[in-house]
A and B are shown apart, each in its own frame.
Chain A
Amino acid sequence: MKYFLKRADDFAEVDIVAENGQLAIHKDGRNYQVDLVSLGNNRYSLVIDHQVYSVEAVNDSRTVRLVLNQREYQVTVLNQRQKVAQDLFGDSDADDLQGDVSAPMPGMVLKIEVAPGQQVEQGQPLLIIEAMKMENEIRSPISGTVTEILVKPNQAVEKDDTMIRIE
Chain B
Amino acid sequence: MKKIRKVLVANRGEISIRIMRTCREMGVKTVAVYSEVDRQSPHVAMADEAYCIGPAVAAESYLNIPKILDVAKRAGADAIHPGYGFLAENARFARAVLDAGLIFIGPNPDTISLMGSKTESRKTMMDAGVPVVPGARDALETVEDARAMADQMGGYPVLIKAAAGGGGKGMRTVRRPEDLARAFDAARGEAQKAFGDATVYVEKFIEAPKHIEIQIIADQHDNVLYLWERDCSIQRRHQKVIEECPSMVLTPEQREAMGAVAVQAARACGYVNAGTVEFLFDSEGHFYFLEMNTRLQVEHPVTEVVLGLDLVKLQLLAAEGHPLPLRQEDLSPRGHALECRINAEDVYNNFVPSTGQVTHLKHPEGPGVRVDSGITAFSEISRFYDPMAAKLITWAETRDEAIERMKRALLEFQIEGIKTTIPFCLAVLDHPEFRSGKFTTKFVEQYWDSLKAAGSADADLLEVIAAAVAYHQDQAGAATRAEVNHAPGRAEISPWKMRALQDMRRSK
Contacts and interface: CB of A to CB of B under 8 A. Distances in A.
Nearest to A64: B466
A105 interface: yes
A71 B459 contact: no
B471 interface: yes
Contacts of B411: 69-70
A36 B472 contact: yes
Contact of B354 (A25, A105, A130, A135): A105
A135 B355 contact: no
B466 A66 contact: yes
Contacts of A106: 355, 383
Chain B: interface residue count, which band? 35 or more
Interface string B421-453: 011001000000000000000000000000000
A57 B352 contact: no
B466 A38 contact: no
Contacts of A104: 346, 349-350, 352
Given A46-B465, A75-B466, A132-B387, A30 B460 contact: yes
Contact of A130 (B193, B455, B468): B193
Given A57-B469, A105-B383, A42 B460 contact: no
Contact of A70 (B190, B385, B386, B413): B413
A133 B386 contact: yes
A46 B355 contact: no
Interface residues of A, number: 54
B475 to A, nearest CB: 8
Interface in B446-497: 455-457, 459-476
A104 B461 CA distance: 30
Contacts of A68: 457, 461-462, 465
A88 to B, nearest CB: 17
A112 B459 CA distance: 40
Contact of A16 (B169, B419, B467): B467
Instruction: Tell me which of B350, B410, B422, B463 has the highest count of chain A C-beta atoms within 10 A of its own C-beta.
Output: B463
Contact of B468 (A30, A34, A131): A34
A25 B457 CA distance: 19
Nearest to A133: B194
Contacts of B419: 72
Contacts of A16: 467-468, 471
Contact of A73 (B383, B413, B457): B457
Nearest to A65: B466
B459 A105 contact: no
A124 to B, nearest CB: 14
Interface stretch (A4-12, A92-100, A114-122, A143-151): A4-12
B254 interface: no
Instruction: Tell me which of A32, A77, A130, A133 has the highest count of chain B C-beta atoms within 10 A of its own C-beta.
Output: A133
A57 B465 CA distance: 9
A137 to B, nearest CB: 9
A134 interface: yes
A71 B423 contact: yes
A64 B469 contact: yes
A66 B472 contact: no
Nearest to B425: A70
> Interface on chain A toward B: helix, strand, loop, or mixed SS?
strand
Given A70-B411, A131-B353, A136-B352, A79 B474 contact: yes
Interface in A24-63: 25, 27-28, 30, 32, 34, 36, 38, 41-44, 46, 48, 53, 55-57, 59
A69 B457 contact: yes
Given A68-B465, A132-B386, A135-B190, A1 B471 contact: yes
B348 A14 contact: no
B141 interface: no
Nearest to B469: A57
Contacts of B350: 104, 136
Contacts of A134: 169, 237, 353
A23 interface: yes
B143 to A, nearest CB: 17
Contacts of B457: 68-69, 71, 73
Contact of B385 (A46, A57, A132): A132
A133 to B, nearest CB: 6
Contact of A41 (B360, B426, B471): B360
A77 to B, nearest CB: 4
B414 interface: yes
A104 B354 CA distance: 9
B469 A25 contact: no
B347 to A, nearest CB: 9
B359 interface: yes
A12 B470 contact: no
Interface string B391-420: 000000000000000000011011010010
Instruction: Tell me which of B193, B353, B354, B387 has the highest count of chain A C-beta atoms within 10 A of its own C-beta.
Output: B353
Interface string B367-393: 000000000000000011111000000
Contacts of A56: 360, 414, 416
B186 interface: yes
Contacts of A25: 464, 467-468
A5 B468 contact: no
Given A43-B414, A105-B355, A132 B383 contact: yes
A48 B464 CA distance: 9
Contact of B462 (A7, A36, A70): A7
Given A36-B472, A43-B414, A77-B470, 6 more contacts: A5-B466, A12-B463, A14-B464, A57-B465, A69-B457, A71-B455
26 contacts: A3-B471, A7-B459, A23-B468, A23-B471, A30-B460, A34-B464, A34-B468, A36-B472, A38-B472, A41-B416, A53-B461, A56-B360, A57-B469, A59-B469, A66-B462, A70-B423, A71-B457, A79-B470, A105-B352, A105-B383, A107-B353, A131-B383, A133-B193, A134-B353, A136-B353, A159-B355
